[in-house]
Each structure stands twice: as structure tokens, then as C-alpha cells.
């Protein structure tokens, strides 16, 4: 059975030595001193390790089942959910007026990493509730907030997001779910939604479905879409539960992974719903939550890879096989541990440098969300730009690294007992949901690069430039800064290629969008590694007693620059080859 | 449910227009004229499509189970096995004196592609038998061949290979299975073997296990290992089945994929076995089959990707979602098909250019095997060099492409019903078994590059050079030849780096071994694409009536050069960064 230990020390390093959050001048951050976050993380680590991780493999094996119209979650989930609810873990960053603890989104993210690493499927129930909470908080009337939020904050009731239908996922304009206005101001919702995570389960007394549907008079395509609150059980004026709404589960899907998460077909048969936000502005309402939801998925990408990496590392240290080519290292044993072999080391370093880089990037992204919540338009624009990069790059790489972790285990990794297959199967979904990664690339290149006249991408390049400049003349940093400069220039060159060619032929830009997303992901991680290396260097200069920890950060930064960043040159060459070879064959010629 | 149609036309193109097999001057090839191979392939296609493909998804869902000590295969497998046996499909390239049809190994490979694409798990039973047959054919006494081969050729009895034990896979020197010599010349075999494909099942009356074990007096490590024939049921002198041997199934493994293939823990409790080949030369006996077995796995890599690609393509043409950025293409429908979108097209072209290139490379490899069987030492050396490249590169890419095919299906690809998850899960094992891909890279860089003084790698570069030179002055080929030249030079440069640095520090070579394997894979595929483009160009010049087919080959070749070959530059940069950053952290510093 795989094991998991929350990397609290690494988290603290990013929070306090890289992002220096307690002095970051963001409202709500001044309380985030090292001892406070250490205390929160130590407790979160216990929950993750002692409660969630032990249910991960069992949840995968047992999965969810539909019994008499109700979804049953795997054994132990219900009690664990109750324990987390009681511990207040569901409401860390929720508004105090609705029972939340009012911590920054950053703290939600940091804790979430540990929870997702320990049990991604379990964490979906709370994650979806968090998304639905945010939507009601931003778009709800005061009455709606008072009615729905307190129980959602406590996770007594959970939430869902209903977008996809059998014939449309990305292209929601084709949606056919209807909202029929009633005399009392409510609507009757009719239609079928699919892929609804936490669509039904046995861990909450009510489920608050947020449903996109078409109300009359909104026009064609996405313009006609509105967002509705459709509870599983109707709620009386006094807050007590009333009659069952006309919502039912058609099916629980059999998926490649995240078996513990109930993915449901939901049937709305004239179910009673109430408009959330403005009529016919449902897409806009959905999109305001999108950054957060996508960042949550970006986090899943590296969090699952972290868990997989820990188990690959343990196996590489433990499993004896072959001898080091440079001479026997374990002369008392029948063979040396796998970790002596250069290709195993390469594999592990790729995992380690990705996971630690992605953690820093994700936490930085969370600080931008917190700034944006406080009305910082620049931060809002920047995180809008970075969101598709984090989502697409981190989930692609997270899956790739989970597969590499599985590879360290050889044949044993293919056997389900090892748990290594589950990491790969679970990580796979993050590349798909909340917008498949090809859609992320389209969002980045087709929309975000040009947003506000390209202001945000220019701001990003300025940040990279400033970081490089800050280390001018620091010989110890030159070896790290130069590769970042090169990669950043290559990224700019790719952007220029799009600008020059994309106007006359949009395909010239879009055929390179996936490469651009990955290239930008690498530049972001390299930026994080420069920052982490500098922080480590500072600690070493200050005479820290823990030299090994900081020296490892610098060595890992060097690895990333030498071994991962060269991908940028490849992506640039692919981008600059244009759309011609990509689009040469008509559909009939395939 | 996914569908499959054998790509007979593409296979014929490679056989007759690229490899020109019927005039290739290889003994046994003169019969392989286009009408003969067309007839074989048409029949093989029917078997693959009508018998094997329909069992693929069901076999995955049902899997194998152990009941009262006997493994039960999924419903339908037994009957299908019987049908293939009767059709003579199990014995295409087996020796006529033992009931085979005496066709070249090439024809076995071509037919095998269709069978593996249709149902990889099912095909394992016959594949393992083929391997065991080859071992007995090469190393057995006449009496052993007469006793075992006829029933193995007909697949009345199947075969297995028993190498791995719980504590050793790659490092077989640690093996603890013992062979105790008996007065009658037989041995008593005792020990446990794991990951034994087709270790037991209900489709044959006997199973011939080939088991590696240590007999007394052989010395330490792999030197003491011998190979034994250990049947499930003892065979009387008259060929009838006798008593049950002391071999039993301990467990059927629950794996990530290939659920229809029974992967068994085998317990040998003083089972009776007979030495196969020379005493204490068991590793050598095993290795003589390794090229074929590994090429078989290399074939699985792209064959599963082919099946996945077909279903991704069908979905991309069928699923309506969004509109082409260059203007509506399906004005009668509510949206355009996915295939109009440049990033979907990029994805599909990556799959197509890989699968078709790998097919050509694999068939070429099979012709080298046939030449080697006829005593051609140069061909034997070349296929020895190429085997780790084909195995490592094609299985890595095959999995990657199956994952990309799944991605085209969006959320539907994550649902098991679609069958797209199965392709990815099945393809995953090919990166692991028959030597994990890291071991292939080690074999390539640590052993094969230097074999016979580097003669074979020099011969490989000569082949590339000659191919490039052959198109000198042909303007239509320049755009394809130049990238191949560049990539080949980069590969040579990487080899030079290893030579210069690997002597004083072997890690400097081994830390780059995985990159080298991939780089060489790309050069091989680019070589194939130059050959295919030339063949297509020739057909066009000759005024073929099927212009679309040949133009698509040339367009796909251009795509490969523009969009895939740039990976070589990245791999070179990674290799030339050396071992320092890879090995910087000691095991304790992770």
C-alpha cells in the first residue's frame, strides 16, 4: 500500500522564504506567520495522512454504486467526511458571516494540496461544494446567500456544477436543458446533465446543484444560458428540509480513475430552481468561478504527482537490483538500491523538480487570486493569463510524472496492489475536466494573450525580466538566470510569431497553441526555480543549520534548467513551422 | 464500443512500395508478391475485426479469475482461440517439419499487428507460445523438438517464459529458484515465479513452461542459471498426457490493463523439468529469443496506438463541437466536427505520423530478423542495435499516443464504456515488460553502441547517409532529407559526447541514455518517412490513380519532420548537460 507524508517543510519554504507571505502586504496575510501556518499544516498533515490516505486505495477498489436511486460512497468516506466537517477543514477560506474561518484562498490551496495528494477522489466532494459556494457568494442575492451558504460552508449540504450534456461539453451553446419560468418567480428545469461530480452521494443531507439552462428569450447559443440553483431536497422557509425535488441520478459512470468520486448522469424532470445572478448571463456567472476551479485542477496535477513521487522514491531507495556502474555501493547487500542507477535518478529528478516547481507556482497563483479578491486588477489579469498555463501544463506534466513514478516500480507498478497505477489513472482526469487541455491552450493563445491589449502577457514578461535583473552580478545565480532569459526570449519569439502570422491565418497561431502553453509552463517553473534557488542561497549565506535542504533546492534548480528547460527550443521550432503541415490533410484524407 | 479495421492498404504500401519485399532477395520472400500478401492480410483482417475485436472490451471488463486452481479466461476467448488455431494463424512462421507454414517472420509480424490492434490481451497467449517455441527450436535436442514443438506450433499446448521472481526482475543473478538434478537426468524445480503471462488458462490441454533456475555448480550470479522445460502436465513417451506436474498457480494479478491476459504467480514445488540447451547457459539461451520478444512488444506499442487512433479519428469526424476559427464548415449542422480545430488536427497528425512510421520501422526490423535467421551477420548486428530503440521508443510513444487519442474524446474518453481508457491502460504495460524502457536505454548505450567495436551503429549511420545521398538533387525530397540529416548529425554528436565523456565517467553516458534512445527513435522514424515519401512520390510520378493516398503520405512525412523531429535538439541539449545535475543529490538528499 502506498504511503504519504505531507511535505510541510517544503510548503513552509515556499510560503515564507520564497513568497514571504506574512510581509506580502495582502489583506488577511499578516496573520500568516511561520508558526501559524506550521500549526495549520501540521494538523492538515495529520488529517491527510491518518484519515484520507488510508481510504485512497480502498475507495479506488470499491468505487461508488447506485442503489435504489441513491449513490453509495466507498466504506469509510462518510465518517471521514464528518470528521473533516467537524474539524472545520471544509470552510478555511469561507466568509465568516456564513460560518467560514475567513482565511485567505492561499491557505485553502496549501491544505488542499495535502488532502488531494492523500485522496484526490474524496476531496472532490468538498472541492465542488467550494466552487458552488463561490458562485452563490458572488452572484446570489442576500436572501439566497443566507439560505444556502451556511450549510454549504459547513458541508452539511454539498454542491455541484452542471454544465455538460451528452451532445455538448466545450460548446455549451448547443445546450438543450430548459428553464421554464413559473408564476412564483421560480423555474422548472428539464434536461439531462452528464459528468456531474458529486452529483449524488450519502455524505450530506442535501445537495445544491448549480445548473446551466436556457430560459426563454435569451437568443441563440451561449447568450440564452442562465444559471440556476436546483436543490436535491427543497428547503422550507424556516431552513428545514422539505419535499424531494424532481432531480434524479440516471447512472454512476464507470471511469478510468477517481473511482471514489461519484460521477453522475443527472436527470432534471421539471425540477424547481431559482435564478442565480442575471437572466441570460449564466455563462458569465460560471466564468467568474473558472479561474479558481481551474487552479484547483492545476493543483490536482502536481498533488497527485507528489504522492506518486514519494512512493517512487521510497521504492528506489528500498528495492535492490543491479550494481552501480561506478562501483558497488551497498556491499552488505545482494545488490544496490535502484536509486544508484543514473536513469532512475534522472526519472526521480524530473519528478522532484516538477512537483516542487509546480507547488511554488500554484501557491504564487493563489496569492494572485487573493490579491484579485481585494480588487487588484493587475493580479486579476495576470492570474487570468496564467490559469490556462497552470491548468494545462501542470496536469499534463502531473500525469506524465505519475506515469514515470509508476515506471520506477517496474512490473510491480502495473499491479493494482502497488497503488502506483491508481495515481496514474486518477491524475489522467485532470487533463480533461474543467476544460480539456486543448481548450486551455485555445483560451491562452486565442483569448488571454490579447486580453486588454496584451497588457497581462507584457506584465508577465516584465516580471521575468525583473527577476533576472535582480540577480545581475550575482555569480552564483548566473547559471540559473541565463537559461531563464533564453527560454523567456524563445517564448516571446513564439508570441511574435503568432502576432505576425495569426492575423492573416488564425490557424498559424492555434496550431502552435499547445506548444505555447507548455513553453510558458516551463518558463513559469524556471522563474519559480530561480526564486527558490535565491531563497535557498540566502538561507545558506545566513548560515542556516540545515544546509542539506537548501543545497538540494539549488541542485534541483540546476537540474530543471539543464534538463527540462531545453524543451522550450523544441516547442519554438514546432510553433514556427506553422500550420501548413498540421492542416495539410483535409478530414477526408486521414 | 470502439471499432477496428485493419489498415491493409497501409500494410501493403510498406511491404511492396517501401520495402519491396518480393524482390528483396531474402530466402522465402520470393513468394511474397502483392496478391499473396493481400490475400493473407484480407483474411487476417477478417479474423481481427470479426473475432478478436468484439472480445476486446468484454475481456477487459471480465478479466481472468482463478477458480479451484485453474485460471478462467473471459467468455469467448476459448472459442476464439480454437478458431484461430483451426485457421492456422498460430503457426504462420513456424517450421514446416513441426506443422508450421514456414512463412517469414515478417508475415508473422504483419498479421500480428492486426491481431494486437484488435485485442492485445488475447494475443498474449499465442505470443508467449511463439517465444517458447523459438527457444526450443534453437536450443532443444531433436528429441525435445519432436516431443514439444508440434503441439506448440498448433497451439494445442501453449508456452510461457518464467524469469521474474518477487525480489528480482532485471537483476536475475539474485534468482533463488533451484533445479535439483535427478538420477534419470531430469531436475526437480522449486521456487516462485511472478508476472507469468499465460501462466495458466483454460484454452489448451497443456502448458509448456520455460523456467530459469539455478542448478548446482554454476557459480554466482547469472552464471549459475539454466533453462528448463517444465510442463504443466507430464507427457508420456507416446505423446499422451500423463500426471499433473508439481506446478500451481498462486494468484492471478489484478493489473492496470490487459485484463484478458492471465498474469500469474507460479509455484514450482519440486516440479519435474528437463534442461533446455547447455547447463549454466540459461541466460544466453534466453537472450537469443530476446530480440524477437522485444520486437513483439515494440509492435504492441504502435499496434494499440493504431486502434486508439482509428477511434480518435472517427470521433473527431463525428462529434460536433464549436466552429472552425476560419469560418463555418458544417453549415447544415449545429456545430463543426472536432477535426476542424487546429489543435485536434495536431493531435491526430502526431498519432498518424507515429503509427505509420513505426509500422514501417517494425516491418523493416522484421526483414532484418529474417535476414539474420539466414545467417546475415550484418543484419543480426543491426537488429541487435535497433531492438532497444524500437522497444523503448515505440512503446513510450505508443502509450503517449493512446493517451492523446483518449484526449480527443474529452470526458467521454475517461468513461470506460468508450474503450479509449482501455487502449491507454493496455498500452502502458509495453513500456514495462520484456525489460523496462530504462533497461532498454541502458542496453542501447551501455552495450549495443559499442558492440563489435561500434560497427553496427556506424552501419546505421551509413544507411541514413546513403538514404540522404540517394535523393541528392531531387528538389521534391530536399525538405524531407535536410531535417533527417540534421537529426542524424545531432545523434552522432550525442554518441560522440558519450565516447568522450563516458570513459572517465560512465554516468555521463548513462544519464543521457533515455534521451539517446528517443533521439535514435526519431531518426529511425524520419528515415522511414523519407523512404515512404519517396515511394509515394514515385507512385505519383507513375501516374497512380490513387493520388490522395500518396499525397497524404508525403504530407504526413512533412509533418513528422516539422513537428516531431525537433525533439532531437532537445534530447541533445539534455544529453550534453551531462550527469552533474542528474547525480548531484545523494540518495539521502531527496
Whether A236 and A165 share a structural domain: yes
Q: Rounded to whole angstroms, how far apart are CA atoms A84 and A155?
A: 9
Whether B91 and B192 share a structural domain: no
Q: Which of B239, B255, B287 is the last residue of a domain?
A: B287
Say whether pLDDT at B407 is over 80: yes
Give tens-digit pLDDT for A275-299.
999 999 999 888 877 778 999 999 9
Q: Which of A138, A171, A200 is the last residue of a domain?
A: A138
CA distance A95 to chain B (A): 33
Percent of chain B beyond pLDDT 90? 95
Whether A117 and A178 share a structural domain: no
pLDDT at residue B337 in the model: 97
Whether B65 and B12 share a structural domain: yes
Whether B168 and B127 share a structural domain: no
Mean pLDDT of chain A: 96
Could you tell me if A337 lies within 8 Å of chain B, comparing CB atoms? yes
Percent of chain A beyond pLDDT 70? 100
Q: Mean of the pLDDT values across residues A71-99?
A: 96
pLDDT at residue B473 in the model: 92
Whether B88 and B167 share a structural domain: no
Whether A165 and A280 share a structural domain: yes
Q: Mean of the pLDDT values across residues B404-426?
A: 98
Whether A131 and A61 share a structural domain: yes
Residue A459 lies in a domain: yes
More confident site: B287 or B382:
B382
* Residues of B whose CB is below 8 A from A413: 432
pLDDT at residue B538 in the model: 97
The SS3 assignment for A157 reads strand
CATH number of residue B93's parent domain: 1.10.540.10
Q: Mean of the pLDDT values across residues B230-242?
A: 96
| Nearest-Cα residue of chain B relative to residue A445 | B343
Could you tell me if B411 lies within 8 Å of chain A, comparing CB atoms? yes
Whether B181 and B84 share a structural domain: no
Q: Compare CB distances from B342 to A171, A511, A559 and report the shortest one's residue.
A: A511
Q: How many domains does chain A contain in total?
A: 3
pLDDT at residue B285 in the model: 86
CA distance A246 to chain B (A): 26
Residue A548 lies in a domain: yes
Q: Rounded to whole angstroms, how far apart are CA atoms A494 and A481?
A: 20
Whether B125 and B180 share a structural domain: no
Say whether pLDDT at A93 is over 80: yes
Percent of chain A beyond pLDDT 90? 95
Q: Rounded to whole angstroms, how far apart are CA atoms B328 and B322?
A: 9
Give tens-digit pLDDT for B98-124.
999 999 999 999 999 999 999 999 999
Contact between residue B438 and residue A407 where contact means Cβ atoms under 8 Å apart: yes
Say whether pLDDT at A141 is over 80: yes
Q: Rounded to whole angstroms, how far apart are CA atoms A338 and A318?
A: 8
- Domain span including residue A69: 8-138
Could you tell me if B547 lies within 8 Å of chain A, comparing CB atoms? no
Q: What is the DSSP letter of A589?
A: G
| Band (B286; pLDDT cuts 50, 70, 90) | confident
Residue A508 lies in a domain: yes
CA distance A324 to chain B (A): 9
Contact partners, residue B284, CB within 8 Å, separation at least 6: B277, B278
Q: Which of A40-54, A127-141, A283-297 has the lowest mean pLDDT?
A: A283-297
Q: Mean of the pLDDT values across residues B291-309?
A: 96
Q: Which of A92, A109, A138 is the last residue of a domain?
A: A138
Q: Rounded to whole angstroms, how far apart are CA atoms A3 and B81?
A: 42
Q: Mean of the pLDDT values across residues B429-437?
A: 97
Whether A161 and A134 share a structural domain: no
CA distance B490 to chain A (A): 14
CB atoms within 10 A of CB A141: 13
CB < 8 Å from A in window 236-255 of B: 253-255
Beta strands in A521-572 (DSSP E): none
Angle (CA) A56-A57-A58 rounded to 5° is 95
Active site residue B400: no
Say whether pLDDT at B447 is over 90: yes
Say whether pLDDT at B288 is over 80: no
Residue with cell 514456414: B102
**End-to-end alpha carbon distance in chain A:** 45
Say whether pLDDT at A309 is over 90: yes
The residues of A carrying an active-site annotation are 434
A579 with B342: Cβ contact below 8 A? yes
Could you tell me if B297 lies within 8 Å of chain A, comparing CB atoms? no
pLDDT at residue B292 in the model: 84
Residue A386 lies in a domain: no
Give tens-digit pLDDT for A318-374.
999 999 999 999 999 999 999 999 999 999 999 999 999 999 999 999 999 999 999
Residue A191 lies in a domain: yes
* Residues of A whose CB is below 8 A from B254: 415-417
Mean pLDDT of chain B: 96
ipTM score assigned to the predicted complex: 0.98
CATH number of residue B279's parent domain: 2.40.110.20
The SS3 assignment for B496 reads helix
pLDDT at residue B162 in the model: 96
Say whether pLDDT at B374 is over 90: yes
Q: Rounded to whole angstroms, how far apart are CA atoms B85 and B91?
A: 8
Say whether pLDDT at B147 is over 90: yes
The phi and psi torsions of A511 (rounded to 5 degrees) equal: -65, -20
* Residues of A whose CB is below 8 A from B424: 256, 428
B587 with A337: Cβ contact below 8 A? yes
Say whether pLDDT at A485 is over 90: yes
Say whether pLDDT at B197 is over 80: yes
* Residues of B whose CB is below 8 A from A254: 415-417
Residue A445 lies in a domain: no
A425 with B256: Cβ contact below 8 A? yes
* Residues of A whose CB is below 8 A from B443: none
| Band (B284; pLDDT cuts 50, 70, 90) | confident
pLDDT at residue B289 in the model: 75
Point out the catalytic residue in the list B350, B400, B434, B467. B434
Whether B162 and B114 share a structural domain: no
Could you tell me if A447 lies within 8 Å of chain B, comparing CB atoms? no
| Band (A53; pLDDT cuts 50, 70, 90) | very high
Residue A71 lies in a domain: yes
* Residues of A whose CB is below 8 A from B442: 341, 343
Say whether pLDDT at B280 is over 90: yes
Residue B380 lies in a domain: no
pLDDT at residue B469 in the model: 97
Amino acid at each position: 500500500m502506498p504511503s504519504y507524508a505531507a511535505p510541510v517543510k517544503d510548503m513552509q519554504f515556499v510560503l515564507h522564504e520564497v513568497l514571504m507571505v506574512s510581509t506580502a502586504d495582502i489583506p488577511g496575510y499578516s496573520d500568516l506567520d511561520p508558526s501559524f501556518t506550521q500549526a495549520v499544516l501540521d494538523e492538515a498533515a495529520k488529517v491527510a495522512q491518518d484519515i484520507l490516505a488510508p481510504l485512497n486505495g480502498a475507495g479506488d477498489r470499491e468505487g461508488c454504486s447506485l442503489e435504489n436511486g441513491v449513490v453509495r460512497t466507498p466504506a469509510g468516506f462518510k465518517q471521514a467526511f464528518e470528521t473533516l466537517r467537524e474539524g472545520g477543514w471544509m470552510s478555511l477560506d469561507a466568509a465568516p458571516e456564513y460560518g467560514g474561518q475567513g482565511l485567505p484562498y492561499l491557505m485553502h490551496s496549501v491544505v488542499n494540496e495535502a488532502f488531494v495528494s492523500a485522496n484526490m477522489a474524496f476531496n472532490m466532494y468538498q472541492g465542488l461544494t467550494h466552487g458552488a459556494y463561490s458562485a452563490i457568494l458572488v452572484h446570489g442575492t442576500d436572501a439566497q446567500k443566507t439560505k444556502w451558504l451556511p450549510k454549504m460552508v459547513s458541508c452539511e449540504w454539498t454542491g455541484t456544477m452542471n454544465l455538460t450534456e451528452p451532445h455538448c461539453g466545450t460548446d455549451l451553446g448547443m445546450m438543450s436543458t430548459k428553464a421554464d419560468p413559473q408564476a412564483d418567480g421560480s423555474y422548472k428545469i428539464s434536461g439531462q446533465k452528464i459528468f456531474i461530480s458529486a452529483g449524488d452521494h450519502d455524505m450530506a443531507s442535501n445537495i445544491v446543484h448549480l445548473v446551466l439552462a436556457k430560459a426563454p428569450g435569451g437568443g441563440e447559443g451561449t447568450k440564452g444560458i442562465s444559471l440556476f440553483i436546483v436543490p436535491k431536497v427543497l428547503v422550507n422557509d424556516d431552513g428545514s428540509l422539505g419535499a424531494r425535488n424532481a432531480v434524479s441520478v440516471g447512472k454512476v459512470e464507470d471511469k478510468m480513475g477517481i473511482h471514489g468520486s461519484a460521477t453522475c448522469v443527472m436527470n432534471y424532470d421539471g425540477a424547481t430552481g431559482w435564478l442565480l445572478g442575471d437572466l441570460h448571463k449564466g455563462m458569465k456567472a460560471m466564468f467568474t468561478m473558472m479561474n479558481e476551479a481551474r487552479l484547483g485542477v492545476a493543483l490536482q496535477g502536481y498533488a497527485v504527482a507528489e504522492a506518486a513521487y514519494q512512493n517512487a522514491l521510497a521504492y528506489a531507495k528500498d528495492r535492490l537490483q543491479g550494481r552501480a556502474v561506478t562501483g558497488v555501493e551497498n556491499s552488505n547487500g545482494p545488490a544496490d538500491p535502484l536509486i544508484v542507477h543514473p536513469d532512475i535518478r534522472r526519472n526521480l529528478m524530473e519528478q522532484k523538480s516538477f512537483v516542487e516547481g509546480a507547488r511554488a507556482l500554484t501557491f504564487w497563483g493563489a496569492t494572485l487570486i487573493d490579491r484579485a479578491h481585494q480588487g487588484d486588477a493587475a493580479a486579476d489579469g495576470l492570474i487570468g493569463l496564467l490559469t490556462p498555463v497552470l491548468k494545462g501544463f501542470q496536469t499534463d506534466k502531473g500525469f506524465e510524472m505519475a506515469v514515470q513514478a509508476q515506471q520506477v516500480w517496474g512490473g510491480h507498478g502495473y499491479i493494482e496492489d502497488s497503488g502506483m497505477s491508481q495515481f496514474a489513472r486518477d491524475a489522467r482526469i485532470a487533463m480533461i475536466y474543467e476544460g480539456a487541455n486543448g481548450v486551455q491552450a485555445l483560451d491562452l493563445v486565442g483569448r488571454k494573450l490579447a486580453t486588454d491589449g496584451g497588457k497581462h502577457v507584457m506584465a508577465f514578461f516584465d516580471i521575468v525580466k525583473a527577476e533576472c535583473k535582480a540577480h545581475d552580478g550575482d555569480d552564483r545565480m548566473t547559471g540559473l538566470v541565463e537559461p531563464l532569459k533564453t527560454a523567456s526570449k524563445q517564448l516571446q519569439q513564439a508570441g511574435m510569431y503568432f502576432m505576425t502570422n495569426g492575423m492573416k491565418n488564425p490557424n498559424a497561431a492555434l496550431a502552435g497553441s499547445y506548444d505555447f502553453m507548455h513553453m510558458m509552463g516551463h518558463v513559469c517553473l524556471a522563474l519559480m526555480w530561480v526564486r527558490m534557488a535565491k531563497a535557498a542561497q540566502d538561507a545558506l549565506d545566513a548560515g542556516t543549520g540545515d544546509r542539506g535542504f537548501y543545497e538540494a533546492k539549488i541542485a534541483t534548480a540546476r537540474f530543471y534548467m539543464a534538463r527540462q528547460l531545453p524543451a522550450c527550443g523544441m516547442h519554438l521550432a514546432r510553433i514556427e513551422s506553422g500550420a501548413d503541415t498540421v492542416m495539410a490533410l483535409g478530414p477526408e484524407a486521414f
